[in-house]
Amino acid sequence: MDKRIRIEIAGKDDFWSRAFHIEWEHQFPERKLIDDGAGHYWADPEWFDDLERVAAQTFCRVWRAPDNPQRREWLNSILPRRGGH
């Protein structure tokens, strides 16, 4: 495995979020998603199409998260919020 990517997985609700992980482990037992402890996971970039397919099967979405979450927090702190907040 070369370089892992950090991903976010969001389910329609908690049931479907759990269903995603159960289905992923069932379909790909050799492919372990590594929980980063902050609600994101590290995965092989070559798995992304399969991640999206399993997500669609379980009413979830998966997308690439920032590799450095502090950068997102920093940007959010300096950029004005949208929607008049």
Q: Which CATH number do you get for residue 24?
A: 3.30.70
Is residue 33 packed enough to be buried (19+ CB in 10 Å), middle (13-18) or exposed (0-12)? Answer: buried
Residue 31 lies in a domain: yes
The C-alpha angle with vertex 72 and arms to 39 and 45, in degrees rounded to 5, equals: 60
Range of the domain at 21: 5-78
Residue 20 lies in a domain: yes
The CA distance from 17 to 35, in Å, is 14
Residue 60 lies in a domain: yes
pTM recorded for the entire structure = 0.75
Give mean pLDDT in consecutive 10-residue pieces for the chain, a chain of 85 residues.
86 95 98 93 97 97 81 59 58
Number of domains in the chain: 1
Residue 41 lies in a domain: yes
